[in-house]
Structure 1
Amino acid sequence: AIFLGDGDWNLGTSPVGVSQQFRLKGVPIYTLATGNNKRVPDLELTSVNAPTYGIIGENAQIPFTIESSLARDVRTQIRIKSDTGAERYKDLTIRANSTHYDSILWRIEKEGASTLSISLPVTNGELIENNNSRDFVISGKPESIRVLVIETLPRWEYRFIRNALSRDPGVSVDCLLLHPDLGRGDGPDYIQEFPEKLEDLQKYDVIFIGDVGVGEGQLTVEQADLIEGLVKSQASGVVFIPGAKGNQFTLSKSNLGDLIPVILNQDKKEGLSESIETTMRLTPEGEESLLTMLGESESQNETIWRNLPGFYWQAPVVRAKSGSTILAENEARRNAYGRLPIIVTSRAGSGKVLYMAIDSAWRWRRGVEDLYHYRFWGQVARWMSYQRNMAAGERIRLFYTPERPKPGDFVSLSANAFDSNGAPLNDGVLQIDLTAPNGQIKRIELAKEEGAWGSFSGRFKISQPGEWNLNTFIPEEPAAAIEAKIISQTDAIEKTGRPARFEVLQEMSKISRGRMVTAEKIDELVKEINALPEPQPLVTSIKLWAHWLAPVILITLLSLFWVGRKLNGAF
């Protein structure tokens, strides 16, 4: 067998595995290598991982990846443009022969779906021009975020967070003030009791927990466990803002304590005080996070964080737990694990967690009033509620990953369903009518998960590119349904300009006892093939009497013979 190619493949597994089958049959593979082992000089926009929706009037972060095979650094611009003509640019420096990961901000201005195009200009020396742009669809949604703030003492941070959320038109806030001396707080936006019923608690997208723990006059173990279940089972978010009283240490008596994404020093429950103002700095992950984007651009954001007012107190954090992400850290204090973390995020089940190790972000108001403080906490609330509100109705809430799957990917589905009273649906089923891009409809039933939160899960495979429609419903209750769309975009199967993989061709030939040659040695290949012995013919023997057709044919012939004799009057 003669194989002509560059050794690369687009689908399935490596062709090396097929070589073993040829060897078993005694057929050598002679591979004729084509192509070049160096990639064609090019800048390629390889991926755009945009969210499926954004909040109207807010920035959405559009991550992208560029691969460079040019032998020099390139200074260029990335451009994003909407179908209405609006544009935004960002300056880039792409290093030679490297992969560049970055993102650009885009402000959502209208409700509904918009088609955006992100592109790079063709630079000098590029040989491929058709891989410098990509199109994607993003939807704008009005926001409606429900927040619960729980605190003991009305610290300055609590007061300004309450003000920030109360004045945000997209946020509805309830406050539960558990003052140790004055009792429950009262007034606008205040509630008097912790929402004990699941139908009352599940409406909150985000819960802020201040210097609050488990104990008399604070949360009970059962209430803390309810918050933990809300986060892990219903994709809500929880924000921990500790204080000098150290009440959050007692959360370890409940399951909620396991959600805290840092290890605390048990010997310094009062925290770490500073005699002079101390500043924080963003980590590389923090520089790329939408949570810490206080400016209108990345360069402006860097300047803002460098000039933010500092703090005089920090929670006694030893280190971040495994699997968490540090966004900001103490610029002055270090220990054996490195700089002390200040802002830490993590995932917990379906939900999100943020730990803020200082309680003086309100000082960011100096000279700019509410600008940065309000923006930061508003972005935290929106980030935490994002997945929970991907597709939400009165009775059903559906979220899925990945948001932009490719053909061949499995999409994981998670859903919460509620009865007519708003309580989690525990005695019922949840089904989805899945409509593929070609119009084929398939019904799937989500599996009920253990627990009392009305949680369901399932998955399906994306078999083709295009728009997939999901109609999620409770059987026999047609009004209890929501619609969701998943758009699957595929990359070009045949990628041009890629380097040849001669090592694959060599392995194929080695396994099958053939040889790899290049184009200039094709005459030698012809001579070598002609010198091979004549292959033995392949003989396949079939035992007729062992085949099932033999008795069938025999019985049929005997039946015809007997019928013929009857027709002729013979017995």
Structure 2
Amino acid sequence: MSERHFQFNGFELSGWTIVGVCAVILAIVTIVLLFRYERRLVTHSVGNTLIALRIIALVLILFTFLEPVLTWSFNTEKTGRLVVALDVSDSMNTQDRHATDLEKLRLARALKMIGNKNVDSRLDRWEAAYAANKEPEWVDENETANPEKKAQLASSRKSNLQSIFEELDQLSRKEIAQKLLLNPANPILEKLQERGQVDLVLFAGDAISTEREVLNKTLTDVPDQVHMELSNLSQALKSAPSNSDTSAAPISSYILLTDGRDNSQLDPVSTAEQLGQIQIPVYPVVLGSAYQPKDISVSALDFPQTAFKDDRPLLKARIGTNGYEGKDVRVILKQNDRELDVRNFTARGKSKILEFELKADKLGRQEFTLQTDILPGETRDDNNEKNFAINIVDDKSHVLLVDETARWEFRFLHNALQRDKRIDLEQVLFEQPYLGLLPKPFFPNQLSTKFPPENEPPNQDKSSNPFGEKDLIIIGDVSPNHLKEENWDHIKKFVAEQGGTLVLLAGKKYLPLAHRSEILEELLPIDKMKIVNWNQANFKVPPAERGMRLRLTPEGEKESLFQFDVTPEFNREIWDQLPGHLWFIQGDQKPGTTVLAYGVSPFNAPLDESKDGVIIHRHYGAGQVIWIGIDSTWRWRFRVGDRYHHRFWGQLARWAARNKAAAGNEFVKFSLSKTDIYAGEISTATARWTQAYLDQFPDVKSTVAIYKTTDPEKVINSFELIRQKNQPLIHEANIPSLPAGEYELKLITSTEVAQGKEITTPLFVHEIKTIELGNLTSNPQLLTEIAESSGGQLLTPQTMDQLLELLPSLSQETTNQDEISLWDHWFILVLIMGILTVEWAIRKLNGLP
């Protein structure tokens, strides 16, 4: 059904319409006057013909001024698609033998293993009893009055239910999902297919399309590309497989059958929000018990990926011990089948953290294995070991610490860096007590002034630059009298040209508010600064509870210098418990900077992350600048000593050394977020260009080629790095999934950048078994967030029947509108020109001018 109508766009412009009408009226008046003259020269019929042709031409011209458009609307019907995604990750192979009787009864009813219209009310009462932690009344009072028969009936029903529970114990979550979809007693998949097209997807670390025939099998031979060792719910929500003849059909809804485990380091809730904005709801069906099974597992390992030779890198292992309260557990650290350390402990609670000191006396990549004994009754025995590797390098982090006086921050920071054997520390303290009894003050009180000759090319000889050998410079509360513009100029070159890291520590007296240096203003990640002072005089609270606490942003949580625990939840908890700060400098975040930590006020009200960042990072040239807007990191030592304060600054020094050592040159730095990853884990490749080079070559492209170390001539994969909108100097992208092995990644650049030298970095990909199995509980909380963010609803096996009522109609009727612009159509132009040509010919044939 269609409707056609005219509309005149020219009426929207009233001034233009008035001018056009007035012009046409004036032209008509002129034509009438001309007609009065011409009718004395030609016959009456010729005169009428001429005036008619002229008026018609003017009407057509006015018609074009009004911009007429012919529009019509019509309805079209589109059939949408349902994406049914089945989780086939390793955690879905779990048999929930530890599930409660209530969970098992509900699942048995959902699978139609028990129940019908005659007994459903009785099963409802059994569920209520289990929910109240009571023994169900197996026989109703009105069924029989015979005690003996009542006892036999109760025993029979209890035994029958127990046999059903035992049958459920043999089913994995993956098999339960299959039965939910294909159960002949309730064929939900068939009912969905009756509604419209259904695309079936198998997902784990990646997603692939599949057919119904595959679901009829055991799903034991899942293709390797799905990476069963990982769970990536975001990938499932991005999957949109379709046959070529139906590729235009829009997706109507997603249905996920999953336990909700996700270890992809991505945010599936954000993906669900994007789907919700285009009205594509997600309906997760949660599978598995919400209770942690009886299991011993190597849940997580926390270790530095790179350590210095003769250092003492620390391995922190979290051992899951759920269900083994009071049992003895043995943990073994191995290297090449040789036992390095053995720890025994008695399980208390759900987990235990163990610390191992690793030897770093051999250079190169050192591989280790941490494993536990398998105890009787474990739900799974394939998560009791984990492999990891550390790269041992022969180097130190070279640090320069500069401050005005020995304030508290300087004292504790100096002690932290001085005690670290892998840090080569140089200090400059401008103002310090000096009685003249010693040849020189205890600390140097002047910066080095050894500069390169003016005619020497930059970066040719690092030793000729006062900061050339440094990896990290920390500037404290130094006065403008001691740091002049020429000093800032050399600090700027240290960062921009040599790839160094500069840390600017806020001070109450001088830095940065007392400085008027243009270079410092350029280096700072913030502007429009002001002091925020949390006056604690009115707060009668202990010292540990005073002041503004720091909270990490998602970007900060990814950086190694902020990681006090490998588990994100525990790491956040540590930061939440660190003592607060009574003073900081607030400022507006400059473009291209990243807030790593922001403040939470003493009233527990979150500050504006973008405006109230306390620790802010920015890339500058080949290097980087970190602004720390507090002068009291020493407060983190309260009642815990060196544990967090020393670790933070030690990690920062090593982080800075790795940044300077990144592959590249004065034009670009090429690095990976992780050089050792597990198969399917995400690592990001980053090319960081200098502003000067991008000013000269703004359209430069960055491509990365991947080679196997064993075959360096053959490119096995390549990908392009994407320019980041908020940080135009950075090109980055996630590395494609790779199987276990050793690789080399090469940055493909222009001839000017390469300068005849390859820019490469290594990548080690490990086999993985336990990242997916460290926690075997279902995660309904995450699935609820996904459902609510997309406009969907969380379902359970028992409520899965509601899908047919909840799903929107797959047949969608849409109204489309089409139009033809008549005022600029070729036919109108031809018509006007034709009329004017006829009018001209008649005039000439009749002797008129």
Partner of 2:159: none
Displacement after TM superposition at 1:230 (Å): 4.3
From the two aligned structures, give the one with the greater strand fraction: 1
The one-letter code of the counterpart of 2:744 is N
Match of 1:24 among 196, 203, 207: 196
Matched, 1:460 2:735: yes
Matched, 1:87 2:365: no
How many residues are aligned here?
Answer: 459
Q: How does 1:96-495 map to 2 (within 5 A)?
A: 96=350, 100=351, 102=353, 104-110=355-361, 111-153=363-405, 158=410, 170-173=422-425, 190-192=447-449, 204-212=470-478, 215=480, 217-218=482-483, 223=488, 230=495, 236=501, 238=503, 240=505, 242=507, 245=509, 247-250=511-514, 254=521, 258=525, 264-265=531-532, 316-317=583-584, 335-337=602-604, 346=615, 348-349=617-618, 357-358=631-632, 379-385=650-656, 387-388=658-659, 391-392=662-663, 397-416=669-688, 432-436=704-708, 441=715, 442-444=717-719, 446=721, 456-472=731-747, 475=751, 477-491=755-769
Displacement after TM superposition at 1:488 (Å): 4.1
**Residues 296 and 321 in structure 2, CA contact (< 8 A), matched pair in contact too:** yes
Matched, 1:56 2:327: no
Partner of 1:539: none
Displacement after TM superposition at 1:80 (Å): 2.7
Q: Distance in 2 between matches of 1:259 and 1:103?
A: 41
Q: Distance in 2 between matches of 1:374 and 1:337?
A: 23
Distance 1:237 1:87, change over 3 A: farther
Distance 1:235 1:86, change over 3 A: farther
Displacement after TM superposition at 1:429 (Å): 7.2
Q: 3-state SS of the aligned residue for 1:464? A: coil
Displacement after TM superposition at 1:112 (Å): 1.0
Q: Distance in 2 between matches of 1:55 and 1:459?
A: 28
Partner of 1:507: 800
Q: Which has the larger radius of gyration?
A: 2
Q: Distance in 2 between matches of 1:266 and 1:493?
A: 44
**Residues 406 and 462 in structure 1, CA contact (< 8 A), matched pair in contact too:** no
The one-letter code of the counterpart of 2:88 is W
- Residues 476-497 of structure 1, C-alpha deviations (whole Å, 9 max, x = no match): 5343544422324333799799
Distance 1:508 1:480, change over 3 A: same
User: Unpaired runs of 5+ in structure 2?
Assistant: 1-85, 93-173, 182-187, 200-211, 219-286, 435-440, 460-464, 565-578, 606-612, 781-794, 807-849
Distance 1:335 1:178, change over 3 A: same
Q: 3-state SS of the aligned residue for 2:796? A: helix
- Residues 247-297 of structure 1, C-alpha deviations (whole Å, 9 max, x = no match): 44447983665569x9953598xx99xxxx98899x9999x999899xxxx
The one-letter code of the counterpart of 1:336 is F
Q: Distance in 2 between matches of 1:136 and 1:353?
A: 33
Distance 1:22 1:118, change over 3 A: farther
**Residues 75 and 94 in structure 1, CA contact (< 8 A), matched pair in contact too:** no
From the two aligned structures, give the one with the greater helix fraction: 2
**Residues 365 and 390 in structure 2, CA contact (< 8 A), matched pair in contact too:** yes
Q: 3-state SS of the aligned residue for 2:768? A: coil
Distance 1:242 1:465, change over 3 A: same
Q: Distance in 1 between matches of 2:673 and 2:352?
A: 21
User: Unpaired runs of 5+ in structure 1?
Assistant: 1-6, 294-309, 339-343, 514-571
The one-letter code of the counterpart of 1:10 is S
The one-letter code of the counterpart of 2:340 is A
Displacement after TM superposition at 1:140 (Å): 0.9
Normalised by the length of structure 1, the TM-score is 0.55
Displacement after TM superposition at 1:116 (Å): 0.8
Q: Distance in 2 between matches of 1:498 and 1:451?
A: 38
Displacement after TM superposition at 1:393 (Å): 6.8
Q: 3-state SS of the aligned residue for 2:735? A: strand
Greater length-normalized contact order (CA 8 Å, ≥ 6 residues apart): 2
Displacement after TM superposition at 1:499 (Å): 7.7
Q: 3-state SS of the aligned residue for 2:650? A: helix
Displacement after TM superposition at 1:132 (Å): 0.7
Displacement after TM superposition at 1:118 (Å): 1.2
**Residues 383 and 769 in structure 2, CA contact (< 8 A), matched pair in contact too:** no
Distance 1:113 1:491, change over 3 A: same
Q: 3-state SS of the aligned residue for 1:113? A: strand
Q: Distance in 1 between matches of 2:643 and 2:777?
A: 48
Displacement after TM superposition at 1:407 (Å): 4.2
Distance 1:144 1:430, change over 3 A: farther
**Residues 296 and 320 in structure 2, CA contact (< 8 A), matched pair in contact too:** yes
Displacement after TM superposition at 1:464 (Å): 2.6
Is the deviation greater in 500-509 or in 73-82?
Answer: 500-509
Cα RMSD for the two superposed structures: 6.7
**Residues 145 and 381 in structure 1, CA contact (< 8 A), matched pair in contact too:** no
Q: 3-state SS of the aligned residue for 1:147? A: strand
**Residues 416 and 454 in structure 1, CA contact (< 8 A), matched pair in contact too:** yes
The one-letter code of the counterpart of 1:357 is D
Matched, 1:10 2:262: no
**Residues 59 and 105 in structure 1, CA contact (< 8 A), matched pair in contact too:** no
Partner of 1:341: none
Distance 1:383 1:25, change over 3 A: closer
